[in-house]
Amino acid sequence: MRSSSVTAGSVARCQGVSNKISIFIAMTLSALLLGSVSPAVAAEGPVRVIRGHGLEACPRNSLCLYEDVDYNGSGNGRIWVVTGSVHSLSEYGGNDETSSMYMHTPENWRADAHENRSGMGSGDWVWMYGGKKLPNLRSVNIHQSARDTHYGPFNDVITSVSWAGGEA
């Protein structure tokens, strides 16, 4: 008699485990399916935020804005991956946060990173062209107009990007 009640209890436990496994599989599949939709939607916008470090973390055909110098060093800091014009990086948590930049595009592509106080295109800016690397924005060539440039700090002041782009 005791062995049949143990068997019945074992069956009930197995069914409980089976239900938990089924729920786990369903949740995992849902996460995978939602995960495959979300990046596609995010990729349609001009900015997506990833975590990582180094030049290899920057996807092709994009301007990467790193939150720390030396492309986030060896830490997994935020990287704003920009693929189009952005009026305000604050929408992406990136206002006044950039300390290094990399333009991972063909040479004929261009983007301008702006210190923006009153609207896109105003304030000082840094020209970024295909392949350009700026590991430390504490000392860079800054443009005030097409003819007026000076050397100085541009760390943690970028608020917008004008994307001139190009074709792959």
52 and 24 housed in the same domain: no
Tell me, what's the pLDDT at 46?
A: 94
Tell me, what's the pLDDT at 10?
A: 46
Tell me, what's the pLDDT at 15?
A: 54
Tell me, what's the pLDDT at 123?
A: 72
36 and 62 housed in the same domain: no
More confident residue, 134 or 112: 134
36 and 94 housed in the same domain: no
36 and 53 housed in the same domain: no
For residue 156, is it left (φ>0), alpha (ψ between -120 and 50) or beta?
Answer: left
Tally the domains of the chain.
Answer: 2
15 and 53 housed in the same domain: no
Tell me, what's the pLDDT at 45?
A: 84
Tell me, what's the pLDDT at 7?
A: 54
The secondary structure of 32-54, three-state, reads HHHHHHHHHHHHHCCEEEEEECC
Q: pLDDT, tens digit, for every residue of 19-66? A: 554 544 444 444 433 333 223 333 468 999 999 999 999 999 999 999
130 and 50 housed in the same domain: yes
1 and 54 housed in the same domain: no
Does the pTM surpass 0.75? The reply is no
Position of tokens 């599949």? 29
Domain at 67, CATH number: 2.60.20.10
Tell me, what's the pLDDT at 78?
A: 98
54 and 129 housed in the same domain: yes
76 and 134 housed in the same domain: yes
More confident residue, 86 or 55: 55
Dist CA 65 CA 68 (whole Å): 9
Q: pLDDT, tens digit, for every residue of 2-24? A: 444 445 444 444 455 455 545 44
Domain interval for residue 124: 46-165
37 and 98 housed in the same domain: no
Report the Cα 110 to chain-centroid distance in Å.
19
Q: pLDDT, tens digit, for every residue of 130-160? A: 999 999 999 888 877 666 777 778 889 999 9
50 and 40 housed in the same domain: no
54 and 27 housed in the same domain: no
